[in-house]
Amino acid sequence: MNRTVRIRRFGTPDVLELYEEDVPVLQPGMARVRHTAIGLNYLDIYHREGHYPLPLPTGLGVAGAGVVEAVGDDVNAVTAGDRVAYAGVSPGSYADTRLVSADRLVPVPDGIDEAVAAATLQQGITACFLLKDVFAVLPGQFVLIHAAAGGVGTIAGQWAKKLGARVIGTVGSEAKAAHAHSHGCDEVIVYSRENVADRVRSITGGAGVAVVYDSVGKATLEASLDSLALRGTLVSFGSASGDPPPLDVNALGAKGSLYLTRPRFVHYTRSRENLLRYAEAYFSAIQNGLRVLIGQSFRLEDVADAHRLMESRQTMGSSVIRI
């Protein structure tokens, strides 16, 4: 049997229900992956709440890793027995086994733990395209990364530092500040008690930062705009505190001829070539010293506890379900 978590309505973590079902039947172009680990991403909360409405009932979870059990017709990308991971696919990973479009699977290199691949692939690829392609960070530039002790933040802080940036991170607590300091951030602002834009101006000698990577949204939008240097770029890529409020386009001019972009994982990884390029860059960064933290591990039957912890801002680094 195949344990699968589904929701029949949107709502609190209580809507997550565990079912026992038959193993899914193979289809052309698909591979059946037996999970050893399942990634938990903040996106799963938006899906559970109906923030990005999905047709119901639906499975949840967009990332995982394990072994290819079998492949359908017309599959060339992988074969049975391959160690694989995936991220950013249609929800349904909270299960022992699932079907994944074979062209969305990436090989897990020797030496990379499947739990690390499952927990962090979505976050690592995101950090990669944010820092290299959405706004290509240059050595010496000041960058501001919100939620710097989270899954994406832990990876992006170190990666930005490695690219030579001067990294300022924001976090919600003192414990998270210590974590962010030891994972790439030169300066850390505890935004629950400090004024972000004032601190950024003071750290940068009044100039502001070249780019803000903002995944917090509603609570930070204004501070992000006010932290930018002339012609700086706001990369708004998430809504952990709620959607950013509507923005007056003229405000971008008034605040310094600013740029604004709202990138999405699906668009940056649409071609298999890009997906593989980002995944390889991420795994290679780990092999070259980038430290990932799986701060929280859960059993599949306890996934509601995982959601409660994530949305109450008590997690650090990445979270995983181990099968």
Ligand X SMILES: NC(=O)c1ccc[n+]([C@@H]2O[C@H](COP(=O)([O-])OP(=O)(O)OC[C@H]3O[C@@H](n4cnc5c(N)ncnc54)[C@H](OP(=O)(O)O)[C@@H]3O)[C@@H](O)[C@H]2O)c1
In whole angstroms, how far apart are CA 16 and each of 2, 93, 298, 305?
A: 16, 13, 14, 10
229 binds ligand X per the rule CB under 6 A: no
The stretch near ligand X (CB under 6 A) out of 61-69, 104-112, 248-256, 310-318 is 310-318
Q: Considering only residues 219, 252, 260, 276, which one is a binding residue for ligand X as defined by CB under 6 A?
A: 219
In whole angstroms, how far apart are CA 160 and each of 24, 75, 126, 246?
A: 41, 37, 13, 29
The stretch near ligand X (CB under 6 A) out of 16-24, 232-240, 244-252, 297-305 is 232-240
Q: Residue 46: what are its φ and ψ, rounded to 5°?
A: -55, -45
Query: At 203, which amino acid appears?
Result: I
Letters for 280-309 (x = contact with ligand X by CB under 6 A, - = none) are ------------------------------
43 binds ligand X per the rule CB under 6 A: yes
159 binds ligand X per the rule CB under 6 A: no
The stretch near ligand X (CB under 6 A) out of 17-25, 26-34, 212-220, 274-282 is 212-220
> Closest approach of Cβ 150 to ligand X, in Å?
2
Residue nearest to ligand X (CB): 150
50 binds ligand X per the rule CB under 6 A: no
172 binds ligand X per the rule CB under 6 A: yes
> Closest approach of Cβ 218 to ligand X, in Å?
8
In whole angstroms, how far apart are CA 240 and each of 45, 179, 214, 216?
A: 9, 19, 10, 5
The stretch near ligand X (CB under 6 A) out of 18-26, 55-63, 260-268, 275-283 is 260-268
5 binds ligand X per the rule CB under 6 A: no
Burial class (CB in 10 A: 0-12, 13-18, 19+), 5: buried
Which 51-90 residues touch ligand X, going by CB under 6 A?
none
- Token pair belonging to 178: 């210590």
263 binds ligand X per the rule CB under 6 A: yes
241 binds ligand X per the rule CB under 6 A: yes
151 binds ligand X per the rule CB under 6 A: yes
Applying CB under 6 A, the site for ligand X has a residue count of: 29
Judged by beta carbon, residue 33 or residue 240, the one nearer ligand X is 240
270 binds ligand X per the rule CB under 6 A: no
Q: Residue 319: what are its φ and ψ, rounded to 5°?
A: -130, 150
For residue 91, cis peptide bond before it (omega within 30 degrees of 0): no
91 binds ligand X per the rule CB under 6 A: no
236 binds ligand X per the rule CB under 6 A: no
Q: Considering only residues 41, 97, 204, 224, which one is a binding residue for ligand X as defined by CB under 6 A?
A: 41
Which 101-140 residues touch ligand X, going by CB under 6 A?
122-123, 126
Judged by beta carbon, residue 61 or residue 66, the one nearer ligand X is 61
Residues near ligand X (CB under 6 A) are: 41-43, 122-123, 126, 147, 149-153, 171-172, 176, 215-216, 219, 237-241, 263-265, 311, 313, 315
